Amino acid sequence: MLTVSLHGITIVAPIGLYPEEKIHPNTFEVDVDVEVRTNKDKPWPFVDYAQINDIVVNAFTPDVELLETLVANIHNHIKTQIADAMKVKVAVRKMAPPLQNNVRYSQVCYEG
């Protein structure tokens, strides 16, 4: 297996469940790992990480409220648009979520 990764994609977007998150945008980080099958007798498949980045950026639309929705949308689009993808792992982190105490980030991750 070959893994192509794009980690630390940083996006600032007005996404969140609470009204103040629509006014004061949050900072998000996204990690994506795409596994593709290789064959020693054939050239290895090409995975365009610019395409992965575009999929991630386009997932951050104002109508999204939950990290779970972001993870599902990113995962589904990668599996649909990258034909050779055998397994995809997506992690979305909301940096410094608006909580009463100091929290570095909240994260939702899916692999499949």
10-residue block means of pLDDT along the chain (112 residues)?
Answer: 96 90 92 93 90 97 92 97 95 92 95 96
Q: Where are the alpha helices (DSSP H) in the chain?
A: 19-23, 49-59, 67-81
pLDDT score recorded for residue 94 = 96
- The CATH T-level fold of domain 2-111 is GTP Cyclohydrolase I, domain 2 (3.30.1130)
User: pTM for the full model?
Assistant: 0.92
pLDDT score recorded for residue 44 = 87
Tell me if 5 sits within 8 A of 31, measured CB to CB: yes
96: left (phi over 0), alpha (psi -120 to 50) or beta: left
SS3 content of the chain, % helix, strand, coil (to 5): 30, 35, 35
| Domain boundaries of the chain, sorted by first residue | 2-111
